[in-house]
Amino acid sequence: MSLSGKELHTVTVAARAFPYRIEEEHPYEPDKILPQDRTAMRGETVEVLPADYARGMRLNAFLKEGETIEQLTSGTSGTTELQFSAADATDTELINWIKDDNPTVQQVVNASEGDGEVAARLLAAEVQATGNDPRKGVIAGLEAVVARSAD
C-alpha cells in the first residue's frame, strides 16, 4: 500500500528502462506526500503505483507470469513484444529512440498516432536526433499530421 492508500503492484521490468513514480513522506511535513521519479532497469523488480502499472501493461514493459529475463534477452519467450509509445515518452526518450533505433520515416509518422501534439514533439526530436538535418519524409508526414489535427 502506498502512502496515499493506493495499491502497489509488484512487477519485473522487461523494457530496457521504465520510468515510474514513488511516494515519499515529506521530511518536514509528515502529512504531505512527495512524488519522486525513479527509473527501473531491465530485470529489476519494483513496486509501482496503479497509473504506472496501467501504462507499463499497455506498453508490455513488464515480464508476464512465468517469463524470465533470460528468455526475453535470448528471444525464446515469444510472448513479450516491447512497444514504443511516443505519446508516453519524454522528449529525451523520443530523441534517443530516433538516434538508437533508427526508425523508418513511416514508423516515425505512425508513432504520432494522428495526434498533432505528439507529431510536433516527434518533429522536434527528429531535428535534434539528426543534428538539425531531419529527413524530408518525416517533416512532410509529421507536418501533415499537425495540419490535420489543427482543423
Give the side-chain half-sphere CA count within 13 A for 133: 3
pLDDT in tens, 4-26: 788 999 999 988 888 999 999 98
- Region 117-136: mean pLDDT is 94
Q: How many residues does the chain have?
A: 151
Q: Specify the pTM.
A: 0.50
More confident residue, 141 or 85: 141
Distance, CA of 136 to CA of 148 (rounded, Å): 18
Residue identified by cell 524530408 is 136
For 79, the grid coordinates are 510472448
Secondary-structure breakdown of the chain: helix, strand, coil percentages, each rounded to the nearest 5:
40, 20, 40
- Region 120-148: mean pLDDT is 94
Mean pLDDT of the chain: 86
Confidence band (pLDDT; 50, 70, 90) for 79? very low
User: For the CA atoms of 56, 58, 62, 67, what is the dihedral angle to 10 degrees?
Assistant: 170
Distances (CA, A) of 84 to 6, 87, 94, 111, 151: 27, 9, 9, 8, 27
pLDDT of 88: 82
pLDDT in tens, 27-62: 898 889 898 999 988 889 999 999 999 999 988 889
3-state SS assignment for residue 145: helix
Which residues, in sequence order, are bridge partners of residue 81? none
- Region 147-151: mean pLDDT is 83
pLDDT of 83: 58
